């Protein structure tokens, strides 16, 4: 009886499901997950936050408008900043409405597990360059440069 119990115990331990310890590969991340995370990390770059607010924001609700000029930006349609949905406008709409306060991603280069971004916030005279690497479906900042001109 005692041997039967030990044998049953060993068999049950052997049949337990194994937990995978493999790292998530780039290919298992969905495009939506990857690109949303990348753009939002760039928008929320700590060094950039000080430029979003002006004295006028005390009276008006702040909205983030982004010039929709890049295929990767479509992934942030449902994202928020300043407790408002991020707005993606094309250049015609920005020009027609006379909008001056918008973020423009000039260049987004993604190669396997690295990304380089170049973007501007012209109303504040700011140029931003960032580099990221992808690990476990999340982008991690390698370096960022913010210049005022």
DSSP codes, 75-98:
GGTT-EETTEE-EEE-HHHHHHTT
* Domain boundaries, position 81: 29-54+62-148
**pLDDT grade for 56, boundaries at 50, 70 and 90:** low
Q: What is the mean pLDDT of the chain?
A: 81
Handedness of CA 51, 93, 66, 81 (dihedral sign): positive
**Judging by beta carbons within 10 Å of its beta carbon (0-12, 13-18, 19+), is residue 79 exposed, middle or buried?**
middle
Q: How many domains does the structure of the chain reveal?
A: 1
Residue 136 lies in a domain: yes
How far apart are the two ends of the chain, measured CA to CA in Å?
A: 83
Which helix (H) or strand (E) segment is 66 a member of?
strand 65-67
> Could you tell me which of 25, 7, 37 has the C-alpha nearest to residue 115?
37
Residue 92 lies in a domain: yes
**pLDDT grade for 57, boundaries at 50, 70 and 90:** low
Residue 10 lies in a domain: no
pLDDT at residue 34, rounded to an integer: 92
Residue 113 lies in a domain: yes
Residue 23 lies in a domain: no
pTM exceeds cut of 0.85: no
CATH number at residue 49: 3.10.450
Is the pLDDT at 9 greater than 80? The verdict is: no
Residue 87 lies in a domain: yes
Helix, strand, coil percent content, the chain, rounded in steps of 5: 35, 30, 30
> Do residues 130 and 45 lie in contact, with contact meaning Cβ atoms separated by under 8 Å?
yes
Residue 70 lies in a domain: yes
Residue 17 lies in a domain: no
């Amino acid at each position: 009886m005692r041997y039967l119990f030990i044998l049953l115990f060993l068999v049950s331990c052997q049949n337990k499901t194994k937990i995978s310890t493999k790292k998530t590969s780039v290919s298992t991340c969905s495009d939506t997950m990857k690109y949303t995370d990348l753009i939002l990390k760039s928008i929320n770059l700590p060094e950039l936050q000080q430029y979003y607010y002006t004295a006028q924001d005390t009276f008006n609700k702040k909205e983030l408008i982004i010039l929709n000029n890049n295929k990767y930006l479509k992934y942030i349609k449902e994202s928020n900043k300043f407790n408002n949905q991020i707005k993606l406008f094309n250049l015609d709409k920005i020009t027609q409405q006379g909008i001056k306060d918008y973020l423009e991603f000039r260049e987004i280069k993604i190669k396997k597990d690295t990304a380089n971004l170049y973007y501007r916030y012209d109303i504040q005279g700011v140029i931003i360059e960032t580099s990221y690497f992808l690990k476990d479906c999340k982008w991690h900042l390698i370096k960022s440069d913010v210049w005022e001109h």
